[in-house]
Amino acid sequence: MSNRGDVLALLRENARYTNEDIARQTGLTESDVEAIIDELEDEGVIKGYTAVVDWEAVEEGDEAVRATVELNVTLDRETSYTDISDRISKFPQVRSLRLISGDYDFDMEVEGDSMSEVSHFISDKIAPIPEITQTVTHYIMTTYKEQGIEFGDGPDDDRLSVSP
C-alpha cells in the first residue's frame, strides 16, 4: 500500500489519530503525514470527518430516527442519474445516497427527529420528484455494526465457569 493509502486506512480506522500516531504506525515523519493529509483534503479525497454514533446509547429525546429508502426512477433523454442525485442530495435530511445495482436504482439514508418527520419528508419532498416511480422505506430499528465498528456491550461469553 502507498503512503497515502496507509494514511487513509488509519484515518478510516480512527479519524482522531494525531499526526504523531499516524507517523508512528507508518514510519513516516509527522510533517510527511501532515502534508499527505493536507493534499488528500485539497484534492477532495477526504470529504470530511464524522463520528459513528450508537443512537441506542443516546439519552431519550436526543436520538435520531433513521431509515433506508429504496428509490426506483425512470430516466428520459434530458434527465440522468446525476441530475436526480443532485436534486436529492441538497436536502439536509439525506445522510447518504448511492446509485446501486439490483432491484432498485438508489439507496438513500434519511434522518429525522421522528418517524412522522421522516415519512413526511419522503412523501412531500422525494416521492413527488417526477422521475421517481417508487419508494420503499425501511426504518432502522437496531444497528449492530456501522462503518466497521461493532456496537453492543462487547463480546458476550455465555460459557459457565468451571472450578477445580
CATH fold for domain 3-42? Arc Repressor Mutant, subunit A (1.10.10)
Other residues' Cβ atoms within 10 Å of the Cβ of residue 88: 21
Handedness of CA 79, 82, 84, 87 (dihedral sign): negative
pLDDT band, very low/low/confident/very high, at 12 (cuts 50, 70, 90)? confident
pLDDT tens digit string along 73-124? 999 899 999 999 999 999 999 999 999 999 999 999 999 999 999 999 999 9
Mean pLDDT over residues 145-154, rounded?
77
**CATH classification number, 56-143, choose in 3.40.50.720, 3.80.30.10, 3.30.70.920, 3.30.1360.100:** 3.30.70.920
Please choose, from the candidates 14, 35, 41, the residue with its C-alpha nearest in 3D space to the C-alpha of residue 25: 14
**Chain center to CA of 47:** 12
Contacts 24+ apart (CB under 8 A), 24-30: 28/3
**Rounded to an integer, what distance in angstroms lies between the CA atom of residue 12 and that of residue 155?**
23
Q: Is the pLDDT of residue 158 over 70?
A: no
Mean pLDDT over residues 15-32, rounded?
91
pTM: 0.71
Q: Is 100 in contact with 107 (CB distance < 8 Å)?
A: yes
Q: What was the pLDDT predicted at 164?
A: 58
Query: Range(s) for CATH 3.30.70.920 in the chain?
Result: 56-143
Q: Which residues is 109 bridged to in the sheet?
A: 68, 96
Helices (H), 14-125: 19-26, 30-42, 81-89, 115-121
Q: Which residues is 66 bridged to in the sheet?
A: 111
Q: Is the pLDDT of residue 160 over 80?
A: no
Q: What percent of the chain has pLDDT over 90?
A: 62
Q: What was the pLDDT predicted at 14?
A: 84
Q: Is 126 in contact with 135 (CB distance < 8 Å)?
A: yes
If you ran DSSP here, which 8-state letter would residue 140 be given? -
**Chain center to CA of 1:** 24
Q: What was the pLDDT predicted at 153?
A: 61
Half-sphere exposure (CA, 13 Å, Cβ side) for 59? 1
Helix (H, G, I), strand (E, B) or coil at 68: strand
Query: Range(s) for CATH 1.10.10 in the chain?
Result: 3-42
